[in-house]
Amino acid sequence: MSSQTQSAPTSKTRSAFTITAIILAVIVIAFFLFSNLYADVLWYSQTGYLEVLTTQWIATAVMFMIGFVAMAVPVGVSLLIAFRARPIYAKLNAQLEGYQQVVEPLRKLAMVGIPVLLGIFGGVSSASAWPVALQWLNRSSFGETDPQFGLDISFYFYELPMYHSIVGFASAVLIISFIGALATSYLYGALSVQGREVRISRSARVQLAITAGVFFALQALSIWLDQYTTLYSASQGFLQTGASYTEANATIPGRAILAGIAAIVAILFIVTAIIGRWRLPMIGTALLLISGLVVGNLYPWIVQRFQVDPNARSYESEYIDRSIQATRDAYGVSDVDEVPYSATTDAEPGALRADATTTANIRILDPAIAPAAFAQLEQFKQYYQFGSHLDVDRYDIDGETQDTVIAVRELNQSGLGESQSWYNNAVVYTHGYGVVAAFGNQRAADGQPVFLESGIPSTGDLGEYEPRVYFGEDSPEYSIVGAPEGSDDIELDYPSGGEDSDQNATTTFDGDGGPVLDNIFKKLVYAVKFQSEQIFLASDVTDESQILYDREPLDRVAKVAPYLTLDSDVYPAIVDERIVWIVDGYTTGANYPYSQVEQLSSAIADTYTPAPQFALDDINYIRNSVKATVDAYDGSVNLYAWDDEDPVLQTWNKIFPNTLLPQSDMTVDLLDHVRYPADLFKVQREILGSYHVTDAGSFYSSDDQWISPEDPVSDTGSLQPPYYLTMQVPGTDDPAFTLYSTFIPRGTADASRSVLTGYLTANSDAGPDYGKLTLLTLPKQDTIPGPGQVQNSFNTDPIVANQLALLQQGDTEVNLGNLLTLPVGGGLLYVQPVYVQSTSGTQYPLLRKVLVSFGDEIAFEDTLDEALDTLFGGDSGAEAGDGEVPVTPDVPVDPDAPVDPDAEVDVPSDNAELDSALADYKSALADRNAAYADNDLVAAAEADQAMVDAIERAIAATE
């Protein structure tokens, strides 16, 4: 047998193996892609929003096909025409003949492959524009027109972007078609260059000239459309956004002229296709370029430099008025209620009597400091956790509305340490448990929070509710829950034997929270999706198992409502006996004529919300159009149309019908917990820093610009965040849960002054006044200290500074809480809680003191109630929420003092319980004095509590 005979079977075997390997690789890759797509179908189907996914897929597919055909067909036709119209006997040079010999064997493939490849690129580009196309098809009228062209605002939101997209895509198609035809004509001799002479066949001339003519016709349309973009683009003049005098009187007319010139050039190219003379279109093209420089750039510059700049205030006045009105409308601040507020600085006795409700609800529990105390007192096990910043809400407790600081006890699998395994992480430790809530206006005698809901199982004033948290802000990537009926419970529910016990209660999820793994194929799909073979192999993954994933509330809402911009602060609430996460959704836009553009992520940045490195989310229109809820137990998502008059929401509701519920479907319990969203409020305060001025002349002079102050308790230079408080704002009839922020004059770092100029509030209670913005404007001639000045006064006051220094001695440190500003007593009251925390051992903050300021007066006491009385001449006229906290006077004791042998010895009474209580009190008092001598404030706080307990027992023994 020859060697050739032996190698033939070997070669065939290798070829077969290679083909098989390629086929298998394609199958594996295809299955990976299919797994993700099918998992999406299962997820959306389970949540009830499959229509959202299919609408996106269908729109993407249709737009891809449109883009593919719109790119591939013209390019292919252009190549085909150029090839078929080639000269049969063209004389080519040696180089072109060489090129032809290389290209010719691949010509048929290239004639199909090049258009198909370019069509794919065009399809991908077009597919990404599906939101633009769907909004254009389903556009809703704003009912308002722009002041320049008189067009409905919807034209700028929906029609103009669509027209620009079409023109841009078509221009790209024509350029590529022109290049393809040019290259083909040159390669096959229809176009030749010999020295300075260019020869072109009649067929190539007609094709290239018509292509160029259509291209310039599109440019004429594009330039014409550019007139309208000036209304939401940067201005050459004073305005940040919109057409000022120069744009309205030079740029816009100039673009109309340029569009006409481009149209003439297009006609000249068509004429060239007929008569064969290229000189006219070349001259026309040069004229267009020169006109673009002169009419499009030079003339507007001359108008701005020599006509507008010397008389800018008068020339720009009309356009500034346009900007003020449009910006206030677009950001929803046109109806802000401005109330002059002549803040007094004299702290008179009884001054707070008229503000009793506000005073009683002053929050002294800082949600940014409290997490450590919540974790120490209520975490119980290492596999639980609370957020780094707690949420503020309000609840009806015994018929009274109480501001509360609330947190969800979520799962923390990293706390398991070495006990982590696939089984524990995916099957056993699947959920958190319960909420912890504390009174915002109270503190215990030892400085701890006063909880109104706590413990495991949860007990307190919030009533019965489903405590299990399968969906939260810190839930695991995925969990597998559920089991056949009669099976043993294996999911850890809560530690039933206390903090130090290993006994645990277990449960089995019985809701509808995720796709059911009821067949082998689904298990395989999710094993591929999460890269875990255990999902496929584990015996505890049964046909009744559900897989929970995409569990963060923001992620779930973003998937079912991809058109919404979501508020960064998701908060929990007990609603209808369930824990739900409430998410605020915004509809936004960047094409509102004359409205100032803001970078959303930069505008909302403050102490608790970091600023981005690169902000790419410009907006000039925003509405809080949707309130969404995510059930913490089963993950169900509900979208409520909160602002059903918003035309942007109306458009998206047409695109995704049956996904929005009307506001009337919101239960009373849910309405009790909605609030004005903080991100929207921060954007609006940024706008009102400039646009509270409605006079064009004053706006131009920038003589009354405001800014939010820096956070006085932060060293990062970030802005002070807004705060939620229940208060009665001056100018309103009733107290309400309110979001507020302050203003100081805008200035450079060297010239800034921390004096109050304004105080902005938003009503957060559902009802006719929800969202009402009230702006208290302070007299310009008065100097009312701002947060920075007040904090400086606190820090430099000799008495306060000395006491703070004493508090920080030894193994303790002082943390200053949020500095609150309240318009009460005819002036502005500042309140700041002061926390003390050990620096070693068990560390968590205790609220030990409260700083208050009114005008130039300062008080520093153990409780807010006592501090207010001290500040207002011995009687503030109202009670704070911590008025029941006993204040133990400081009794300095020298532990080294000799014992007096003649001192009277206590003689036991006939009341054993009283004697025991008095003895315990003396012991606790000695412990307290010793703790103060050692500067151990944590031990002192514990001794204080022991003294209070002993007094209560003594009183009970004498009754």
Q: Which of 74-88, 91-105, 519-533 is least confident?
A: 91-105
Question: Which one-letter amino acid corresponds to residue 921?
Answer: Y
Q: How many CA atoms lie within 13 A of 889 on its CB side?
A: 1
Model pLDDT, residue 566: 96
Residue among 232, 221, 223 at smallest CA distance from 151: 232
Distance (Å, whole) CA 645 – CA 37: 35
pLDDT at 337 over 80: yes
Q: What are 389-426's pLDDT values in tens digits?
A: 999 999 999 888 999 999 999 999 998 888 899 999 99
Q: What pLDDT shows up at residue 10? A: 65
Integer Cα distance of 761 and 586 in angstroms? 20
DSSP designation for 761 = E
Whether 558 has a pLDDT exceeding 60, the answer reads yes
CA 886 to each of CA 72, 680, 848, 922: distance values in angstroms, whole numbers, following the listed order? 83, 41, 12, 17
Angle made by CA atoms 30, 33, 37, in degrees to the nearest 5: 130
Residue 905's region, left for phi above 0, alpha for psi from -120 to 50, else beta, is: beta
The span from the CA of 801 to the CA of 137, in Å, is 66
Residue in the structure block whose two tokens are 């003396």: 922
Least reliable range by pLDDT among 107-116, 154-163, 643-652: 107-116
Place of tokens 């500042």: 830
840: phi then psi, degrees, rounded to nearest 5: -145, 165
Confidence of residue 559 (pLDDT cuts 50, 70, 90): very high
Is the separation of the CB atoms in 649 and 623 below 8 Å?
yes
In sequence order, which residues have a C-beta less than 8 Å from that of residue 875 and are 6 or more positions away? 349, 350, 869
pLDDT at 610: 87
Instruction: Please report the pLDDT score of residue 799 as a whole number.
Output: 86
The per-residue pLDDT for 901 is 39
3-state helix, strand, coil in the chain (%, to 5): 45, 20, 35
DSSP state of 228: H
Whole-angstrom distance, CA of residue 314 vs CA of residue 318? 8
Q: Does 887 have pLDDT greater than 80?
A: no
Going by pLDDT thresholds of 50, 70 and 90, the confidence category of residue 896 is very low
Q: Which residues pair with 460 in a beta bridge?
A: 453
Q: Which positions ≥6 away from 609 have C-beta within 8 Å? A: 568, 679, 721
Residues above pLDDT 90, as percent of the chain: 64
Cβ atoms 553, 585 nearer than 8 A: no
Neighbours of 310 (CB within 10 A): 8
Confidence of residue 101 (pLDDT cuts 50, 70, 90): low
Share of the chain above pLDDT 70, in %: 90
Count other Cβ atoms within 10 Å, centred on residue 122.
25
Alpha-carbon gap, residue 910 to 912, rounded angstroms:
6
- Per-residue pLDDT band at 11 (split at 50, 70, 90): low
pLDDT at 902: 43
Beta strand segments in 570-686, E: 571-575, 578-589, 598-599, 618-619, 621-631, 637-641, 661-662
pLDDT at 938: 63
Distance of CA 546 to the CA centre of its chain: 30
Which alpha helices (H) appear in 632-757, and where do they start and end?
Answer: 647-655, 668-671, 678-691, 696-701
Radius of gyration of the chain (CA): 37
At residue 802, the pLDDT reads: 84
In degrees and rounded to multiples of 5, residue 341 shows phi and psi of -135, 105
3-state SS, residue 727: strand
Q: Say how many Å lie between the first and final Cα of the chain, rounded.
A: 119
Higher pLDDT, 890 or 465: 465
Q: Count CB-CB contacts under 10 A for residue 1.
A: 5
Q: Residue 904 pLDDT more than 50?
A: no
Residue 440 pLDDT exceeds 70: yes
CA distances from 497 to 375, 413, 466, 489 (A): 19, 20, 20, 17
Quickly state the pLDDT bin for 894 (edges 50, 70, 90): very low
| 534 pLDDT higher than 80 | yes
Mean pLDDT of 835-852: 88
Closest CA to 832 of 847, 843, 810: 847
Q: Which two structure tokens, joined as six digits, stand for 745?
A: 């004059």
Quote the pLDDT of residue 98: 62
Longest alpha-carbon distance in the chain: 136
Query: What is the separation of C-alpha 194 from the centre of its chain, rounded to a whole number of angstroms?
Result: 63
**Token pair for 516:** 């059911």
Tokens of 947: 């003294």
Quote the pLDDT of residue 899: 38
Contacts of residue 591, Cβ cutoff 8 Å, sequence gap at least 6: 156, 157, 160, 161, 232, 620, 621
Position 942 scores a pLDDT of: 74
Structure tokens at 533: 């073979």
Q: Could you give the count of Cα atoms lying within 13 Å of 276 in the half-sphere of its Cβ?
A: 6
Q: For the ranges 244-248, 265-269, 279-283, 625-629, which has the lowest average pLDDT?
A: 279-283
Q: Which residues contact 295 (CB under 8 A, 6 or more apart)?
A: 254, 257, 258
What is the DSSP secondary structure assignment for residue 92, as one 8-state letter?
-
**Confidence at 900, pLDDT banded by 50, 70, 90:** very low
Contacts of 337 (CB under 8 A, 6+ apart): 731, 772, 773, 774, 775
Q: What is the pLDDT of residue 25?
A: 81
Q: Write the DSSP assignment of 466-492 as a string of letters.
A: B-EESSSTT--SEEEE---TTPPP-EE
What does the pLDDT read at residue 906?
Answer: 43
Q: Is the dihedral of CA 504, 509, 514, 519 positive or negative?
A: positive
> Residue 889, Cβ neighbours under 10 Å: how many?
5
| Contact indicator for 288, 261 with CB cutoff of 8 Å | yes
Predicted confidence at residue 627, as pLDDT, reads: 97
Query: Tens digits of per-residue pLDDT, 299-314?
Result: 999 999 999 999 999 9
Indicate whether 378 pLDDT > 80.
yes
Query: What is the pTM assigned to this prediction?
Result: 0.87
DSSP 914: H
Helix (H, G, I), strand (E, B) or coil at 294: helix
**Number of residues that make up the chain:** 959
**Does the pLDDT at position 622 exceed 60?**
yes
pLDDT band at 386 (very low <50, low <70, confident <90, very high): very high
645: pLDDT strictly greater than 60: yes
Query: Residues 608-629: what's their mean pLDDT?
Result: 90
Q: Looking up tokens 């080639």, which residue turns up?
A: 86
Residue for token digits 């600023």?
611
At residue 683 the predicted structure's pLDDT band, cuts being 50, 70 and 90, is: very high
Per the CB < 8 A criterion, the answer to whether 319 and 242 are in contact is yes
What pLDDT is stored for residue 140 in this prediction? 96
Q: Is the pLDDT of residue 5 over 70?
A: no
| Segment (H or E) for 35 | helix 3-47
pLDDT at position 17, please?
77
Residues 776 and 338: their CA atoms lie apart, in Å, by: 6
Q: Which two tokens stand for residue 465?
A: 């509710």
Q: How many angstroms separate the CA atoms of 622 and 745, rounded?
A: 26
Q: What are phi and psi of 402, to 5 degrees?
A: -120, 125
